[in-house]
Amino acid sequence: MTEAGPTEAGAPTGKAARELLAQAERLLDTARAVRADHARAVEAVHTALAPLLDSLIRRELSAIPVSRLKDVTEGRLRLGAVEQAGFTNVGQVHEANRYELRQIPGVGAQTADQALAAAGQIAHAVRDTVAVRIEVDTPDDSTTALVTALHRLVEAGPDVRRAVDAAVRLIGTLEPLLTAAGPARGRLRMLFARRPARAEALAAVASVRTVVAEAVARELLLLFGQVSVDLLREPESDVTAWVDFELRSAEYYSLLAELSGTGPDRAAAEGFLPTGIADRVRGLRLDDAHLRVSLRGYQSFGARFALAQKRVILGDEMGLGKTVQAIAALAHLSARGETHFLVVCPASVLINWAREVRARSTLRALPVHGPERQGAFTEWRESGGVALTTFDALHTLPAARDCGMTPGMLVVDEAHYVKNPATRRSRAVSGWTQRTERVLFLTGTPMENRVEEFRSLVRHLQPELAPSIHTTHGAAGSHAFRKAVAPAYLRRNQQDVLTELPALVQVDESVEFSEGDLDAYREAVGAGHFMRMRRAAYARPATSAKLHRLLELVAEAADNSLKVVVFSYFREVLLTVEHALGEGAFGPLAGSLPAARRQEIIDDFAAVEGHAVLLSQIQAGGVGLNMQAASVVIICEPQIKPTMEHQAVARAHRMGQIRTVRVHRLLAADSVDERMLNILARKERLFDLYARRSAVAETTPDAVDVSDGALARRIVEEEQLRLATGADGTVAAAPEN
């Protein structure tokens, strides 16, 4: 007679039940382990953070006069004797103890207790306002300990949050079920248990089976095990942690803000939305199962705003990650069963969208443009994924009414492109917005001073809201405007939400060669001219994809009143940019200019109120000049010497800079740009980046860079082979210096 066998309730009994419960115990143990490992990792951050915060708080309190203690007690506290005893600031009182204060003549127990309590209240308030800044250039033992502790959690990635959340839910579910299922662990226990206890045990076993089956389907055991390993793994060295911090500093600061509770003001991070809308957005839980990136708090809120309000404009200032917020919304919908998404954007950013979707999520990105766009569209319609198309291509594709399916969400990047309803691109977008339930418009252009333009965009999304938007709302200021348009608009500014981020954000802007660009590039490759290959993207300005993207970035910076520095190795490229920008650009700075004249140009640039553009050769702007008036840096092409690029960026990203610096490096896909980056990336990353911070690297760039000639010759040969040029046996010209 076997022990196993189903009951009337369908629950396993005997040996089958015991095996199931043992499996559940193992699952529960791994869940408890990952929760404990995470708790230890978090505690290590708090331990490293505490002395840094204490130091900041002491510094702040030492600057507050002791008389401010009266304000806390509404004037009831008598401090004359305390002040006469030499206590001049709140910090001194806060660090004193009750016995020490009572030794002061005229200070009794009540006064001492009130003074300490008041100092404690002020210290608590200060604690909520200070934020730790991690200085890469001046690391010490305390900040190294913090970076190392954060490194463990950052390196473990977004799986940590999913694993811990799943572990907490599993523990809460399994623990009471296993307790209730106790009698089912043995035949005798079930035999002598009362009937209600047996029934409860069998019901619990049935529930355990369901929970275990779900955990197996979600591969939680594997997830818990991998995350525990990641959380227990020590960094190879302190240098490794510091290098990783440089590469992913935004993730470190985001995690630090989350764990320390010193993030941005919540109202600002939520775009000063009315309470009702903000509460509804907060109530939506973002499913990040298909995301490959950890979101900052304000980014998570932005994605949830798009999901909760369904048809909205996300108008965050440039540099806040509108693209990743859109991808997070798509990933959430994908996790909930949606299969098709459509992104419409300018041609200049389509390749970036493809790379961001693939890098930031598990979603399938499918470019739908160029001569094969009809076939790609058909493939998307049949197989799903994120279709990426351009404004100019959209009207050539089947209309939404003829598509036979509806996207889970339509995203329109640079949405101000459809402000004029009479244009062909606006009509094409409108056809899709009318048939799609969820629509997200992205634009970095502030709308407060463009009320008519905003009203036009809202007509695509929430036409019933458009008539209630008046020009007086914009004239009344940003807060009044945002309150009026809150159901359809969310905008956050850098100064409001980047308090937890470092002052440098770097973005690679990949573009595809236009036909004219490709012709110029082929000519340069065929001639074997390395330097001409590097500047070929600007050889034909009328059709230059890089120049077009550069002008878009400058225009967006102008809309946000930000100053821009444009760097190139080539004076010829800078003159092309200057001509395209028209009058008003400063420079270009060049090595032939006397140092005094160069500084004069920079001073004039800094003195301009609001937006301005400065052009500079990278070798001239990279040494001895301070450009911290600029918060947007555009690098026209990658540099052979990475240190040259680093030094140039450091001219803007240095002490005195009060805004986040956003660096855009323009890269042409499948070109010398990518070949250079791939070769340079193969160098020993730790040594390269560690040396980059050293005094030797600052003064001797050649110390950590590869040979110009060797790099040039190798790239020319590879490109000639790839483009099938020079294949007739002729010897290509020597690379130009």
Closest-CA residue to 433 (of 453, 415, 455): 415
3-class secondary structure for 423-478? CHHHHHHHHHHCCCCCEEEECCCCCCCCHHHHHHHHHHHCCCCHHHCCHHHHHCCH
Three-state DSSP at 614 gives strand
Instruction: Compute the Cα dihedral for 392, 395, 400, 402 and give only its sign.
Output: negative
Residue 565 within a domain: yes
For Cα atoms 256, 261, 266, give the angle at the middle one, nearest 5 degrees. 115
- Residue 100 half-sphere exposure toward CB, CA atoms < 13 A: 12
CATH of the domain at 388: 3.40.50.10810
Task: Give the pLDDT of residue 430.
Answer: 93
**pLDDT tens readout for residues 8-29:** 345 666 788 888 889 999 999 9
Q: Which of 262, 291, 312 is the last residue of a domain?
A: 262
pLDDT of res. 189: 65
Angle at the Cα of 467 from the Cα atoms of 461 and 468, rounded to 5 degrees: 100
Residue predicted with more confidence, 283 or 70 = 283
Spatial separation of the C-alpha atoms in residues 374 and 372, rounded to whole Å: 6
On whether both 193 and 337 belong to a single domain, the answer is no
The gap between the terminal CA atoms of the chain, to the nearest Å, is 89
Taking only the tens place, the pLDDT of each residue in 267-301 is 878 888 888 899 999 999 999 889 988 788 889 99
Retrieve residue 122's tokens: 């002020």
Which tops the pLDDT comparison, 154 or 681?
154
| 66 and 180 together in one domain | yes
CA–CA dist 420, 456 (Å, integer): 7
Range of the domain at 635: 502-722
Same domain membership, residue 555 and residue 494: no
Adjacent-strand bridge partners of 412: 344, 441
Q: For residues 491 and 619, state if they share a domain.
A: no
Measured CA to CA, the distance from residue 512 to residue 350 in angstroms comes to: 9
**Same domain (yes/no): 253, 326:** no
Inside any domain, residue 143? yes
- Contact between 448 and 487 under an 8 Å Cβ cutoff? The reply is no
- Same domain for 188 and 77, yes or no, is yes
The answer to whether residue 728 sits within a structural domain is no
Strand-by-strand arrangement of the 564-568 sheet: 504-511, 661-668, 632-635, 564-568, 613-617, 586-589
Question: CA 314 to CA 281: how far, in whole Å?
Answer: 14
- Looking at 498, 513, 539, the residue that finishes a domain is 498
Tokens of 679: 């070769």
Q: SS3 of 662, please?
A: strand
Residue 252's closest CA among 503, 502, 48? 502
Domain limit, last residue, from 498, 525, 544: 498
* 585 and 468 share one domain: no
Which residue reads 């490709």 in tokens?
Answer: 518
Residues 317 and 225 reside in one and the same domain: no
Position 8 scores a pLDDT of 37
Q: Is residue 48 part of a domain?
A: yes
Asked if the structure places residue 599 within a domain, the reply is: yes
One-letter amino acid at 267 equals A
Do 715 and 647 sit in the same domain of this protein?
yes
Q: Is 381 exposed, middle or buried (0-12, 13-18, 19+ CB in 10 A)?
A: middle
Q: How confident is the model at residue 56 (pLDDT cuts 50, 70, 90)?
A: confident
Mean pLDDT of 639-664: 70
Tokens at 339, concatenated: 């299969």
CA 423 to CA 283: how far, in whole Å?
39
Question: What's the CA gap between 375 and 550, in Å, rounded?
Answer: 31
What is the average pLDDT score of the chain?
82
Contacts of 728 (CB under 8 A, 6+ apart): none
Task: Note the pLDDT of residue 735.
Answer: 42
Q: Hey, which residues does 1 pair with through a beta bridge? A: none
- In the chain, what percentage of residues exceed pLDDT 90? 39
242 with 381, same domain: the answer is no
- Residue 495 amino acid letter: Q
Please, are residues 703 and 695 in contact by the beta-carbon 8 Å criterion?
no
| Overall average pLDDT of the 47-63 stretch | 90
Closest listed residue to residue 252, CA positions, set 427, 71, 504: 504
Q: What is the CATH number of the domain that holds 576?
A: 3.40.50.300
Query: Residue 260 corresponds to which tokens in the numbers above?
Result: 């320390």
**Helix axes 249-260 and 141-156, enclosed angle (nearest 10):** 100
Same domain, 174 and 74: yes
CB atoms within 10 A of CB 699: 8
Name the least confident of 134-143, 200-209, 313-322, 566-575: 134-143
pLDDT attached to residue 643: 65
Number of domains in the chain: 3
Residue 85 has pLDDT above 80, yes or no: yes
Same domain membership, residue 548 and residue 492: no
